[in-house]
Amino acid sequence: MARKILLEHDEIPGIETYAVYRKNGGYRSVEKALKTMSPEQVVEEVQKSGLRGRGGAGFPTGMKWSFLAKPEGVPRYLLCNADESEPGTFKDRYLMEKIPHRLIEGMIVSSYALGSNLSFIYIRGEYMWILEILEKAIAEAYAAGFLGKNILGSGFDLDLRVAPGGGAYICGEETAMIESLEGKRGNPRMKPPFPAVKGLWGCPSVVNNVESLASVVAIVNDGGDEYAKIGIGKSTGTKLFSACGNLVRPGVYELEMGLSVEEFIYGDDWCRGIANGKQLKACVPGGSSVPILPAHLVTKTAAGENRLMSYESLADGGFASGSMLGSGGFIVFDEDQCIVRNTWNFARFYAHESCGQCSPCREGTGWMEKVLNRLEHGNGNLRDIELLEDINKKIEGNTICPLGDAAAWPVAAAIRHFREEFEWHVTHREESQSRNYGLLLKEPLMQ
Amino acid sequence: MSNTVVDLSKRHSEKPVFSAEKMTEIQTLMSQFPEGKHKSAILRILHIAEEEFGGWLSIETMDYVAEILSIEPIEVYEVASFYSMFNLEPTGKFVFEVCRTGPCMLVGSDSIISYIQEKLDIKVGETSKDGFFTLKTVECLGACGYGPMLQCGKKYHEHLTKEKVDELIAAYRSGEFPK
Tens of pLDDT, residues B33-72: 999 999 999 999 999 999 999 999 999 999 999 999 999 9
Which residues from B are below 8 Å from A343, CB to CB?
none
Which of B45, B62, B82 is a domain's end point?
B82
> Is B2 part of a structural domain of the chain?
no
- Give me the architecture of the A339-434 domain, per CATH: Up-down Bundle (1.20)
β-partners of residue A255 are A2, A239
Question: What is this structure's pTM?
Answer: 0.96
Cα separation values, A399 from A197, A328, A384, Å: 21, 24, 23
Residues of chain A positioned with their CB less than 8 A from the CB of B86? 166-167
A354-368: per-residue pLDDT in tens?
999 999 999 999 999
Q: H helices of A24-150, where?
A: 28-36, 39-49, 61-66, 91-98, 100-114, 128-143
Q: Side-chain half-sphere of A108: how many Cα atoms within 13 Å? A: 30
Looking at the fold, whether B72 and B130 belong to one and the same domain comes out as no
Determine if the peptide bond prior to A193 is cis (ω within 30°). yes
CB < 8 Å to B100, chain A: 345
Q: How far is Cα A144 from Cα A80, in angstroms, rounded to an integer? A: 22
Exposed (0-12), middle (13-18) or buried (19+): which is A95, by Cβ within 10 Å?
buried
Assess whether B148 and B104 both reside in one domain. yes
A231-232/A235-236 β-pairing: antiparallel
Residue B107, min C-alpha distance to chain A (Å)? 6
The DSSP annotation for B52-91 comes to HTTTS--HHHHHHHHHHHTS-HHHHHHHHHHSTT--SS--
Q: Do A166 and B105 touch (CB under 8 A)?
A: no
CA distance A221 to chain B (A): 31
| B175 DSSP assignment | T
Number of structural domains chain B divides into = 2
The closest of A261, A149, A270, A162 to A210, measured between CA atoms, is: A162
Residue of chain A whose alpha carbon sits nearest to that of B84: A167
Q: What is the DSSP letter of A402?
A: T
Where residue B117 sits, what CATH number does that domain have?
3.40.30.10
Are A90 and B143 in contact (CB < 8 Å)? yes
Let me know if residue B133 belongs to a domain.
yes
B168 and B98 in a single domain? The answer is yes
B35 and B75 share one domain: yes
CATH number at residue B28: 1.10.10
Residue B50's closest chain A neighbor by CA?
A166
Residue B139: give the domain boundaries: 94-174
Give which of A45, A122, A33 is closest to A78, Cα–Cα: A122
- Residues B113, B139 within the same domain: yes
Q: Is B66's Cβ below 8 Å from some Cβ in A? A: no
Whether B87 maps to a domain, the answer reads: no
Q: Is residue B1 part of a domain?
A: no
**Claim to verify: residue B41 and residue B99 sit in the same structural domain:** no
Is B8 contained in some domain? no
- Regarding the domain with residue range A18-229, which homologous superfamily does it belong to in the CATH classification? NADH-ubiquinone oxidoreductase 51kDa subunit (3.40.50.11540)
Domain layout of chain A by residue ranges? 18-229, 232-334, 339-434
- Asked if the C-beta of B32 comes within 8 angstroms of chain A's C-beta atoms, the answer is yes
In a domain, B106, yes or no: yes
Do B43 and A90 count as a contact with CB atoms less than 8 A apart?
A: no
Asked if residue B70 belongs to a domain, the reply is yes
- Do A95 and A210 meet the contact criterion of CB atoms below 8 Å apart? yes
Please check whether residue A288 touches B, CB under 8 A: yes
Domain end position, chosen among B82, B109, B126:
B82
Same domain, B106 and B66: no
* Same domain (yes/no): B100, B148: yes
What CATH number should be reported for the domain whose range is A232-334?
A: 3.10.20.600
**DSSP helix/strand/coil, A180:** helix
First-to-last C-alpha distance (Å) of chain A = 31
From first to last of its 447 residues, chain A has per-residue pLDDT tens of 678 999 999 999 999 999 999 999 999 999 999 999 999 999 999 999 999 999 998 999 999 999 999 999 999 999 999 999 999 999 999 999 999 999 999 999 999 999 999 999 999 999 999 999 999 999 999 999 999 999 999 999 999 999 999 999 999 999 999 999 999 999 999 999 999 999 999 999 999 999 999 999 999 999 999 999 999 999 999 999 999 999 999 999 999 999 999 999 999 999 999 999 999 999 999 999 999 999 999 999 999 999 999 999 999 999 999 999 999 999 999 999 999 999 999 999 999 999 999 999 999 999 999 999 999 999 999 999 999 999 999 999 999 999 999 999 999 999 999 999 999 999 999 999 988 888 865 444 443
